[in-house]
Amino acid sequence: MIGTHASRYWRLEAPEPTPPDEICSCTQPQDLKLQYSLGFNPIHCMVCNLEVRPSVLQFSGVLAEALQKWNTLRGALETLWLDSGEYEAWASSQLVNPGGWVNTLGRQLAKDLRAFRPTYYNLFMGSQSPRDFHCPICEVKMARYADGDLEQLVCLGCWLVMFPDEVCLPPPGGLR
Ligand SMILES: [Zn+2]
Ligand SMILES: [Zn+2]
C-alpha cells in the first residue's frame, strides 16, 4: 500500500474500501477465521488469509453489529498494547487470556459464524509461542492446519487457530 496514498495525511482521512486483491477469491468456499487485522472486517479465509466479504455469507445485521463491536474492542486492546506505555501489560494480559472478555466474545461470534461455514477463532499469542503448542483452553496438542501456505495451528475441539511464529500478523499487503 506504500505510495498509493496521495496524501501524507491518509491516516487522518476516511479509509478506502478493501482493495480487491486483499479479498478472498478462493474457488471453493473455505473455512473461515475471526481474526483482527487492523481493518474493518475481521472475517478471513483460513486458506488464503484474505478477507471474506460478509455479503457472501449473508448473516444478519445483528451479527454484523456484534462483529463490529468485537473488532473495535479487539483493536482497542491492540492499540493499548502497541502504545507500549502504562496499559501495555494489562492489554497484553487481556489479549492472551482465552477466558478474558474479548476472547470470550470472539469465540462466541466464531460459533455464530459456524452457522454459515466452519469458523475458527484466532487467539493472540503475544510473545509466548512455543512451537510445540498446546491449546490454552483444553491443553490438547494443537494440529497443523492442512491447507494454505501459512503455518497455522488449530485446536479442532475449541475452534482456535494460532500462528506459532508471529506475535502480530500484519495486514494483507504488509504494514503501511
Ligand atoms: Zn481464500
Ligand atoms: Zn482446545
pTM for the model: 0.86
Nearest residue to 174 via CA among 37, 81, 78, 72 = 37
What confidence tens digit (pLDDT) does each residue in 88-115 have? 999 999 998 999 999 999 999 999 999 9
Convert the pLDDT of each residue in 45-66 to its tens digit: 999 999 999 999 999 999 999 9
Side chain identity at residue 135, one-letter code = C
Coil/strand/helix, residue 65:
helix
The ligand whose atoms approach the alpha carbon of 158 most closely is 2
* Angle between the N-to-C axes of helices 101-113 and 61-82, in degrees from 0 to 180, rounded to the nearest 10: 150
Confidence of residue 133 (pLDDT cuts 50, 70, 90): confident
DSSP character string of 111-172: HHHTTTS-EEEE---TT---SS-B-TTT-PBPEEPSSSSS--EEETTTTEEE-SS-SSPPPT
Distance 11 CA to ligand 2 centre (A): 38
Q: 141 CA to middle of ligand 2, Å?
A: 8
Shortest-distance ligand to the CA of residue 48: 1
